[in-house]
Amino acid sequence: MTQTPKIELAGVKKRFGSKVVLDGVDLTVLKGESLVVIGGSGTGKSVLLKCILGLLRPESGMIRIDGKDVLRQSHKERKAQMAKFGMLFQGAALFDSLPVWENVSFGLMKARGMKRNEAKEIAIEKLQRVGLAADVANLHPDELSGGMKKRVGLARAIATEPDIIFFDEPTTGLDPIMADVINDLIVECVRDLGVTTVTITHDMASARKIADQVAMLYQGKIIWQGAKEQVDNSNNAYVDQFIHGRADGPIKMAVRSA
């Protein structure tokens, strides 16, 4: 019996003006699976996540969540769908008018009507999960370091206990030890809570730790997808160059061709 994929993309195209960013992306993520998307800077990884979330609308292609075509959904169905998602933005995107704990429990209070004191307790617990002490809860985002912001964003993404969580570069800007704490947290979400995750990262150590599947985005297409054990013998020159971080290879950086 084949199971309905949690997320399914076919031929997704997205451009900004004349600049084509996604040029027919096909991708499948099964329930409870952790997919890591790798790819060069500016290849459209963040745009890909935003298309799946419905923050950007692709020009063509199909996106299915739990078998439902999200591009042809009504406003209301779309909203119900959104409740399944948690998202850590690349720049954290914390609400700078609210203290940290209200950021973390925003979804619980605003969308689910949870009482403030209960929400605050949960916020503090989630902050501890990402290695932040309770006294951070009352600070404002502009009083945090870059890595702390990232972790608050992470706490916010997991606070509503969503079905599907997207992490856009969760370990960028963290020290190696904290990065590993975050890796463990993501693994825990997937193993223990059955969450489906898509993680974007440039950090191969992190990718190896959290991935079930790895997909590589290059020139608007997924050029390779496979289990993480296969990354090292993918027989794909692009993947090889990327995971070993070599300047020489089929991927030409713009600085070199100029």
Ligand X SMILES: Nc1ncnc2c1ncn2[C@@H]1O[C@H](COP(=O)(O)OP(=O)(O)OP(=O)(O)O)[C@@H](O)[C@H]1O
Chain residues binding ligand X by CB under 6 A are 16, 21, 39, 41-47, 90
Measured in degrees and rounded to the nearest 5, phi and psi for residue 89 equal -80, 155
Binding pattern for the stretch 32-51 against Mg ion, x by CB under 5 A and - elsewhere = --------------x-----
Q: How far apart are CB 79 and another protein at their closest, in Å?
A: 7
Can you spell out the DSSP letters for 187-212? HHHHHHH--EEEEE-S-HHHHHHH-S
Q: How far apart are CB 102 and ligand X at their closest, in Å?
A: 27
Residues numbered 25-84 forming contacts with another protein, rule: CB under 8 A = 50, 53-55, 79, 82-83
Residue 130 vs 216, nearer CB to ligand X? 216
Q: How far apart are CB 234 and another protein at their closest, in Å?
A: 32
**Cβ pair 33, 212 in contact under 8 A:** yes
**Cβ pair 54, 219 in contact under 8 A:** no
Number of neighbours of residue 83 by Cβ within 10 angstroms:
13
Q: How far apart are CB 121 and Mg ion at their closest, in Å?
A: 33
Q: How far apart are CB 133 and ligand X at their closest, in Å?
A: 29
Residue 90 vs 219, nearer CB to Mg ion? 90
Give the whole-angstrom CA distance, residue 215 versus residue 26: 10
41: exposed, middle or buried (C-beta count within 10 Å: 0-12, 13-18, 19+)?
exposed
Residue 56 vs 181, nearer CB to ligand X? 56
Helix (H) or strand (E) holding 225: strand 221-227
Mode of pairing for the β-strands spanning 85-88 and 68-69: unpaired
Residue written as token pair 């702390």: 148
Residue 95 vs 252, nearer CB to another protein? 95
Residues numbered 75-104 forming contacts with Mg ion, rule: CB under 5 A = 90
Give the whole-angstrom CA distance, residue 58 versus residue 43: 15
Q: How far apart are CB 223 and ligand X at their closest, in Å?
A: 14
What tokens does 107 get?
A: 């979804």
Residue number of the CB atom closest to ligand X: 46
Residues numbered 211-250 forming contacts with Mg ion, rule: CB under 5 A = none
Total residues at the site for Mg ion (CB under 5 A)?
2
Give just the sign of the alpha carbon dihedral 198, 189, 186, 152.
positive
Name residues whose C-beta falls within 8 Å of residue 48's C-beta, 6 or more positions apart in sequence: 12, 22, 25, 37, 217
| Range in contact with another protein (rule: CB under 8 A) among 107-115, 128-136, 208-216, 248-256 | 107-115
Residue number of the CB atom closest to Mg ion: 46
The binding site for another protein (CB under 8 A) comprises 50, 53-55, 79, 82-83, 85-87, 89, 91, 93-97, 106-107, 110-111, 156, 160
